[in-house]
């Protein structure tokens, strides 16, 4: 029996391999700027969400070194016990300034944030309206909550409005959306979402994982649309993407943040982030707030690449951000194309269903890419064009 107990998984894994859906881990041996080494081969990294290259910024690294000397490697307990430091509080104050909110709290990851905050926010009698392309962590957070869930068509405000109007609700109405959709790079219609929430008395919960540090002069999607400060808006974001560190945060009304501290299970029952991470996130956020050159560089790099993608008529999405997906109809086509990128030393793996409907090579641009890195990517696009059109 004991040898057979996992046979069912072996069969499932075999099936995944046959269908080209098998996933495996590829760890880096080294990393310097956007250059990485994996299995002895050198690549330019075009798959990381380190949009500003801040994870290796000297000041960000320096902050972590100083903090480790003062506070050690970890706090050894949850925040509510004794795992936090004054650096945590300082970071939360800076996050309030950054997002223009009354209060904020840091959480251990974006995944933890969504799976803890959404169940804390939504009660049994509430209804959550969720965009069909929301991130997996939102989907899981909604599942963990006791609220009723209604999925609306991607970024379709008519569908959302119709669904809100035809649903009776005794509790709160909560609309949840990614600000930037991580696999397609398009931006949620926040202006319309804001207006719907205002007129319908709903709460708006936004996941700004890919907007923070990228949109709105770095302040995120809310600033990008120049929307006003409102207490019915809950702004979740991560420290793990453009901020280049690790962890997440939620910014919003004081009473709500206080409630999260008292009820979000991923906050209460998990060890606090180490001071090193918090100190480096603080340094990184300061850079984003005070110095716009990295953000400018990110957008210059992005525009250069997008121009080529458009000129070559390469199939992409309605992306408006540094996420540039190259979309294919079959996994076979995507894998073939990924060889071109791979041979040129460009690291951008294929993203497969069920993560996305159509397989794609998801390219992400960073301020950390040099002009030569960008030229190499453009060369790859030209080669891909020739392969697709057999010229």
User: CB of residue 238 vs ligand PLP: minimum separation in angstroms?
Assistant: 4
Question: Residue 238 interacts with ligand PLP (CB under 6 A)?
Answer: yes
Query: To the nearest whole angstrom, how small is the minimum distance from the Cβ of residue 4 to ligand PLP?
Result: 35
**Residue 201, Ramachandran bin (φ over 0: left; ψ between -120 and 50: alpha; else beta):** left
- Kindly state whether residue 319 participates in binding ligand PLP, applying the rule CB under 6 A: no
Instruction: Mark residues 136-155: x for contact with ligand PLP by CB under 6 A, - for none.
Output: -x------------------
Interaction of residue 116 with ligand PLP, rule CB under 6 A: no
The C-alpha atoms of residue 108 and residue 270 are separated, in whole angstroms, by 8
- The answer to whether 232 and 200 are in contact (CB under 8 A) is no
Query: Could you tell me the two tokens for 319?
Result: 């992306």
Rg (CA), the chain: 22
CB of 40 vs ligand PLP, minimal distance in Å: 27
Distance, CA of 299 to CA of 324 (rounded, Å) = 12
Tokens of 252: 């919003």
Is 212 an interacting residue with respect to ligand PLP (CB under 6 A)? no
CA distance 154 to 290: 35
Q: Which of 34, 52, 139, 209 binds ligand PLP (CB under 6 A)?
A: 209
Piece of 33-41, 105-113, 158-166, 356-364 that binds ligand PLP (CB under 6 A): 105-113
- Among 117, 125, 175, which residue's Cα sits nearest to residue 148? 125
- Tell me how far, at minimum, the Cβ of 134 lies from ligand PLP, in Å: 8
Contact region with ligand PLP (CB under 6 A), list: 36-44, 97-105, 109-117, 311-319? 109-117
Specify the stretch interacting with ligand PLP by CB under 6 A; choose among 153-161, 202-210, 279-287, 331-339. Answer: 202-210
Nearer to ligand PLP, 239 or 340 (CB): 239
Token code pair at residue 88: 């945590």
Q: In this structure, what are the phi and psi dihedrals at residue 382, rounded to the nearest 5 degrees?
A: -65, -40
Q: In what order do the strands lie in the sheet with 30-32?
A: 30-32, 35-38, 41-45, 346-347
Closest CB 279 distance from ligand PLP, rounded Å? 18
- When the beta carbons of 111 and 260 are compared against ligand PLP, the nearer one is 111
Cα separation, 166 vs 163, in Å, equals 5
Residues near 72 by beta carbon (within 8 Å), at least 6 away in sequence: 275
What is residue 126's three-state secondary structure? coil
Size of the site for ligand PLP (CB under 6 A): 14
Could you say which residues in the range 240-299 bind ligand PLP, by CB under 6 A? 240, 248
Stretch that binds ligand PLP, among 107-115, 288-296, 336-344, 368-376 (CB under 6 A): 107-115
Backbone phi, psi, residue 78, to 5°: -70, 165
Residues that bind ligand PLP (CB under 6 A): 109-111, 114, 135, 137, 178, 182, 207, 209-210, 238, 240, 248
């Amino acid at each position: 029996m004991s040898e057979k107990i996992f046979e069912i998984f072996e069969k499932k894994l075999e099936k995944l391999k046959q269908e080209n859906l098998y996933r495996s881990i590829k760890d880096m041996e080294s990393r310097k700027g956007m250059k990485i080494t994996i299995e002895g081969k050198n690549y330019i990294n075009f798959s990381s969400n380190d949009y500003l290259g801040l994870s290796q910024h000297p000041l960000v690294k320096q902050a972590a070194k100083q903090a480790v000397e003062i506070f050690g490697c970890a706090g050894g307990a949850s925040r509510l016990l004794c795992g936090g430091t004054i650096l945590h509080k300082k970071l939360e104050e800076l996050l309030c300034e950054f997002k223009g909110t009354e209060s904020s709290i840091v959480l251990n990851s974006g995944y933890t944030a969504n799976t803890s905050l959404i169940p804390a926010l939504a009660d049994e009698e509430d209804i959550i309206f969720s965009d069909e392309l929301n991130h997996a962590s939102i989907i899981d957070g909604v599942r963990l909550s006791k609220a009723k869930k209604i999925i609306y068509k991607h970024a379709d405000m008519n569908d959302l409005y119709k669904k809100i109007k035809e649903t009776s609700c005794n509790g709160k109405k909560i609309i949840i959306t990614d600000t930037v959709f991580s696999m397609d790079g398009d931006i949620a219609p926040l202006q319309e979402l804001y207006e719907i929430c205002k007129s319908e008395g709903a709460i708006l919960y936004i996941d700004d994982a890919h907007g923070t540090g990228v949109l709105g002069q770095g302040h995120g999607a809310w600033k990008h649309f120049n929307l006003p400060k409102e207490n019915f808006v809950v702004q979740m974001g991560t420290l793990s993407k453009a901020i280049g560190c690790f962890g997440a945060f939620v910014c919003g009304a004081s009473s709500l943040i206080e409630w999260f501290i008292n009820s979000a299970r991923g906050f209460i029952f998990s060890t606090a982030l180490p001071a090193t991470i918090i100190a480096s996130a603080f340094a990184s956020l300061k850079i984003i707030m005070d110095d716009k050159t990295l953000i400018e560089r990110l957008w210059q790099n992005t525009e250069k690449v997008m121009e080529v993608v458009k000129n070559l008529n390469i199939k992409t999405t309605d992306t408006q951000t540094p996420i540039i997906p190259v979309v294919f109809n079959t996994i076979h086509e995507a894998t073939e194309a990924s060889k071109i990128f791979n041979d040129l030393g460009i690291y951008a793996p294929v993203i497969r269903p069920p993560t996305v409907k159509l397989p794609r090579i998801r390219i992400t641009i960073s301020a950390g890419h040099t002009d030569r890195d960008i030229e190499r990517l453009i060369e790859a696009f030209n080669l891909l064009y020739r392969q697709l059109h057999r010229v």
